[in-house]
Structure formats: structure tokens, C-alpha cells
Structure 1
Amino acid sequence: MSDTNPAADPANPATPANPAPRGGPPGRLMAAETAEQPAVLRRILTEGAPQIRETAERIAARAPRFVLLTARGTSDNAALYAKYLLEILLGRPCGMTSMSTTTAYGARQDLTDCLVIAVSQSGGSPDLVASTRAAREAGAVTLAVTNNAGSPLAAAAEFHIDVLAGPERALPATKTYTAELLALYLLVDGLRGGDGTAAKVLPDLAETVLARRDEVRRLAARYRFAERMVLTSRGYGYPTAREAALKLMETSYIPALAYSGADLLHGPLAMVDNVSPVIAVVPEGKGGEALRPVLDRLRDRGADLVVVGPGAEVARASAGFVLPTGELPEELQPVLEILPLQLLAYEVTIARGQDPDAPRALAKVTETR
């Protein structure tokens, strides 16, 4: 789902107070917002990139030595992606925060020389706002990354980046997730003095992937009656596996478990058989190389293995989706990897006779403290 959201701000339709309206075909909002993603990526690259680069320069001038990331839901997976970027590309030690240490236990920390990045589609969750305020009071450089420039979180942080995704009305977050990924990449690239050139091919590649919906629809047929699914990846692909599992669970209600390939071998591999499907997200690069021994073990166990990634790995699996990554750096591939998996969650849900726009028991407004 979207991360935690506030009540609607009349001045900003990106955070509606009510769930997706009834009427019309099931999933029409999720389908439309998924299709918007190439346009959103272009908007960030043309309209948002200069401000992101300026923000990165101002933060770099403060020379933070450590980074803490804080988020919920879908945005938590985007924050995990940023953790990989910051550790690999910048060599900065990073951690994912536990907001309850501040909001529930009242812990006070010394965050001098620390950068705290709060990622939230809505920017309204009380615990995100409170923990960001506490971090700023504790001496941290604070940055909010949201889809709502007028949100309480944007006001609480010293710096703000608007991901420019526009209103998102379906409960499952799609375009806000990829917008967060690209904005976070541009931030980290800016912190190391880059200009984001490598990302300019993303909108066209995203259009190519989303045009292949029929392939995904055929793939979805094998999951219509699935009782459980396992998703796995390594490196930059691991946040993609987690986000895909979340999308499948909240739309189709299939229990979907996401594991790092390394963690999968430390016990959970025992539950893999030839009945429960396994989806492997295989990056082109070091993450994919690290995952190959895991793929071999899965094949040895007779797993119903589906691969999203290189053609050579798809050919060795039960089925799959070949990503057109070309020369795209591994650190940018997650923006593409999630697209066929968003489509898969949508198509599986429709095949099971459910409405992905409005999953049961969920609401767009979810407040945590």
C-alpha cells in the first residue's frame, strides 16, 4: 500500500482522505497510475532534478558522516534502496530507524553530523513527523522526501524533495514508488557530484516495459490459485523483491514472502518445493552474480522458478520476463524491475476476481504513532 497517509489537504490532491471511489471497471485507477510512470520519471528529470541537485550540494557542504533512513510501507522499500546507494556509491554507513524508540520510548539521541532522511508519499504520518522533529532537535541534518510539499513532514525537516508524482488515488502505491526511487538516486548522485545523466534513458525504457502487459498477463495465469509465493533477490534488487511481495499481498491477498538470496539459504529454503512459486529478481551486475548460486539451489529443489532479469537466466527458469536494461547501471535497474511486478500484482488480482484499487481492510489514510 502507500505509506502512512494523513487526512486530505484540500490544497494538495496527492493525499485524498477517502479510498478509491467505487464505479467503473476494477483496477482502473491502479492501471492508470501504473501507466503514468514514464511521464512521472520525465517530470522528475526535467523539473525536479535541478532542485534535487541543489539540495544535494547544500547537504554535502554539511559533510554528514552517517545516514539514518526512516519510512513506512512502500516508502520503506524505497528507503532500503537508498541505503544500498549510500553505502555502495558514497561509502557512508547507513541505518534504518525504529521510530518507536523516539515516539513510544522517548529515547533521545546525539545525531550530530548525521543525515536523517524521512521518505513518505504523503508526509503526514505522526510518527514520521515526530521522529524527524526529534532528529532535528538532536543535531541531525534532516531531509524529507515526499509527494506533498505542503505536508507536516516537509515542514518538520530542514530540507525537502518533492517527487512530483501527482495525485495517487489507488490504494496500492505504484508511481509514487518509482518516483521516490529516482528522486533518491538523483540525490545520492548529486551528493557525489554527479548530474544524473545515467538516468535519462529511464522514461523510454519504462515505456518499453509497460507496453508488454500481455506477457505479464500470460505469466499471471500461473498464480491465479497460488496459496503462497516466495520472492528473492540480492543487492539493489532486494528492495524490489520486498516491494513486489507487498504489492501481491495487499492486492491479491496471496501470502508473499521476500528474502535476500543469502537469507533464503539460511533456513527458509526448506519450505521451497515444486508447488509454491518463486520469483527471482536478477539484476545485471554484481547482485545477479551473487544470486546465481541461489538460483542453482532453487532449480535443484525443483522450484517453480520465474525470473525477472537477463534473458540467459529467464531461459533457465520455468518462465520469466526479460528486462531491457542494456547499458543501464545496476543501481538504476530497480526503477525498471518493479514495473512488470506491479503489472503482475494487478493481473493476478483481476484474475482472482478482486479489485486492486481498493483492497479489503486497507485505507489510504493510515496513521501510526
Structure 2
Amino acid sequence: MFREAAEAASVVASQFVANRDVLAGLAADLRLRPPAFVATCARGSSDHAATYAKALFETQLGVVTASVSPSIGSVYRVPQRLGDALFIAISQSGRSPDLLRNAEAARAAGARVVALVNVEDSPLAALADVVVPLHAGPERSVAATKSYLASLSALLQLVALWSDDFALLDALERLPNAMRAAWDCDWSPAGEGLAGAHNLFVLGRGLGLGAAQEAALKFKETCGLHAEAYSSAEVKHGPMALVGPGFPVLILDQPDETGTGTRALAREFRARGAQVWLASCGGEADLPVPPAPHAACAPLLLVQSFYRMVNALSLARGHDPDTPPHLNKVTETV
């Protein structure tokens, strides 16, 4: 896990070059024939990338984006009205039967099917109108790291080309070096503080919500630590009743319009005596992250720094981050 996560910046840099033509072609087609909406379909870490996709498409393009439950197509087998949609399936292996069934149904309904997949000759890739390879290379650790970040970077490059946003296109050039700097950030205070923990909240919002979901999953699978991810707005609707003296909270501060409310929440929880770690890009924080070249890049930097910390925490708690109990690298659900 450590070695693979450390490769993420180089993966993203090479992916931007390798995928530019295919994504430029897709972007041109999307500008010519704009979809009515975007539908995503994924599970696990890939679904957290889909959470990021929703915020990215909606904030940068104004295109409504919804997550399609894989069970609707594979178990309930209810046809969905996807004729004018862009359907994006995200998968590392491209082999899970439920994603394949939904991609088949989306294509039959007339949607444009795009597959973001790490295995280019997978069954999912064969079903897609456009294949966007993640180019993450072999990933042997059960816990996905570089493939997750490669999913985010592929989505980011698509949106930059689709929107033809100069600021975002320029940010892509600087993102790999920012990720390298993020990998070197010291998050050991959080690792030390969570060594004996049993539960915690991980909070993000907007573009950063998917990062919080990914962090919570990694706490569970690599550290045996029960973690729940919430929007820093949604946590106020009930869950925050649990936050009191000593309760651990990791807060991922997104450097955009959501930041003011997120930082205010951190202060509120500290006033209750909660154990709070605030991670922020370039600002005052308990856990430092380099400044993001664009707000949409921040989740990649936050997650990259997080991966190094959670790997160390897993080892400190006596776990093997590469082989979590009861899990396989490829999960095939129906």
C-alpha cells in the first residue's frame, strides 16, 4: 500500500499525457451533444470517486449528476430512462457483474457509456462507447490507493477539457508536483492520536465529501477502526449529538466556499472537548497539505497525505494494510 500510494503522482502525470486525445475527443462530443444529465455507477472506492464526480460536474459544468444504484439494474432489473444521459461506470477491475449489467442496460437505453477502468481489456471496457484507462498499473494491495486517485484525476481532466477552463487546465500541469509535496506532509499527530481509538467521524463537504468517504473506508479496512463519513453540513442533522469530550473527528477542509462553515464546525467541536484534527490546503491546520493549484484539485492532495498516515496507523495498530481480513482485491457483486 505504501509503495503504490507513493506512485500516485507519477501515475497522474503519465495519465494526463496518455489520455489527452481520448478525453479531448469525448469532451468535444459532449460540447456538441450535451447530455441532459450524468449518471454514475460504481462501488467501494470507485463510488467515492463518483461522489467527487457529482460535485465536480455540478460545480464546474452545472450538469446535474446522480449515482445509479448498481442493484437497480442487476437485482431489481428495472429499466431506467437514460436515453439522453452520459453514463459513467468507474471500476478498477471492470469485472463486477452488477456494473456490467447496468452498463448494458444504459447502452440499451441509449445512453453514452464511458468506462473509467484500470484493466483496459476488461468486460466493462468492451461494453463502453468510450474507454478511459486509469493507467494506474498493477495494484496488489487490497486497499486501493493509486487507482482511486487516478479515477479522480481522469474525471478532473475530462471536466477541464469539456469546460475548456484555462485555470483548470493550467492546474492539471501543476497537480503532480503538488501531489508529491502532499505525500511528504507530516500527519503523524493524527496517527498518534488515533492509535487507540475505536470510533471517529471523517468530515468533508462538496468536492471534499468523496475524500471523507474514502478516508473512512480506509480506516475500516486497513486499521480495524470504525469510521463514519459525513458532510460537514449533514453531520449537524443528528450525528453531531455523539461528538463530545474526547470524540475523534478528522476534518478535511475544502478550499472553496464551503471552507468557512467547515472551519467553524471544527472550532465548535473543539469547544466541546472533542479531539479534532483539521487538514487544510495551505492554511492554518493541524495537518498540513500544500496549496492546491485549483480548488477541484484539493481532494487529491488531502487523500494523498491521508494515505501515508493511514498506512502508518494500520501498522501501529498491528494490522497489515495490504491484506485486510475477509477482503479480496477484486469484489464481484451481483
TM-score by length of 2: 0.96
- State the 1:256 CA deviation: 0.4
Q: Which blocks of at least 5 consecutive residues in structure 2 are unaligned?
A: none
Q: Determine the C-alpha separation between the residues in 2 that align with 1:37 and 1:109.
A: 36
Counterpart of 1:86 (choices 42, 57, 73) is 57
More displaced, 238-247 or 188-197?
188-197
Counterpart of 1:207 (choices 180, 203, 207) is 180
Q: Is the 8 A contact 2:203 2:231 kept in 1?
A: yes
Letter in 2 for 1:135: A
- State the 1:279 CA deviation: 0.4
Q: Determine the C-alpha separation between the residues in 2 that align with 1:76 and 1:222.
A: 28
Counterpart of 2:298 (choices 333, 340, 353) is 333
Counterpart of 1:251 (choices 207, 216, 222) is 222
RMSD (Å), alpha carbons: 1.4
**Is 1:75 paired with 2:40?**
no
More displaced, 133-142 or 56-65?
56-65
The residue aligned with 2:15 is 44
The residue aligned with 1:321 is 287
Aligned residue for 1:186, secondary structure, equals: helix
Q: Determine the C-alpha separation between the residues in 2 that align with 1:57 and 1:124.
A: 29
**Is 1:230 paired with 2:201?**
yes
Aligned residue for 1:104, secondary structure, equals: helix
Equivalent positions of 1:136-155 (< 5 A) are 136-155=107-126
Aligned length: 332
Counterpart of 2:171 (choices 180, 191, 198) is 198
- State the 1:297 CA deviation: 2.1
Equivalent positions of 1:1-40 (< 5 A) are 30-40=1-11
TM-score by length of 1: 0.87
Q: Which blocks of at least 5 consecutive residues in structure 1 are unaligned?
A: 1-29, 315-319
Q: Determine the C-alpha separation between the residues in 1 that align with 2:250 and 2:267.
A: 14
- State the 1:95 CA deviation: 0.7
CA deviations 1:157-213 (Å, max 9, x no partner) are 11110011111000000000111101001111222234722211111111112123x
Q: Determine the C-alpha separation between the residues in 2 that align with 1:194 and 1:330.
A: 13
Counterpart of 1:220 (choices 188, 191, 211) is 191
The residue aligned with 1:23 is none
The residue aligned with 1:132 is 103
Q: Determine the C-alpha separation between the residues in 2 that align with 1:352 and 1:236.
A: 30
Letter in 2 for 1:154: A
Q: Determine the C-alpha separation between the residues in 2 that align with 1:159 and 1:311.
A: 37
Q: Is the 8 A contact 1:53 1:186 kept in 2?
A: no
Aligned residue for 2:83, secondary structure, equals: coil
Which of structures 1 and 2 has the larger relative contact order (alpha carbons within 8 angstroms, sep 6+)? Answer: 1
Letter in 2 for 1:297: E
Q: Determine the C-alpha separation between the residues in 2 that align with 1:161 and 1:311.
A: 31
- State the 1:310 CA deviation: 4.5
- State the 1:290 CA deviation: 3.1
Q: Determine the C-alpha separation between the residues in 2 that align with 1:121 and 1:59.
A: 24
Q: Determine the C-alpha separation between the residues in 1 that align with 2:193 and 2:42.
A: 33
The residue aligned with 2:252 is 281
Aligned residue for 2:173, secondary structure, equals: helix
The residue aligned with 1:302 is 273
Q: Determine the C-alpha separation between the residues in 1 that align with 2:317 and 2:34.
A: 51
- State the 1:35 CA deviation: 0.9
Q: Determine the C-alpha separation between the residues in 2 that align with 1:88 and 1:218.
A: 33
The residue aligned with 2:82 is 111
Aligned residue for 2:187, secondary structure, equals: helix
- State the 1:143 CA deviation: 0.6
List, as ranges, runs of 4+ consecutive aligned residues in structure 1 with deviation greater than 3 Å. Answer: 310-313
Q: Determine the C-alpha separation between the residues in 2 that align with 1:101 and 1:324.
A: 41
Aligned residue for 1:286, secondary structure, equals: coil
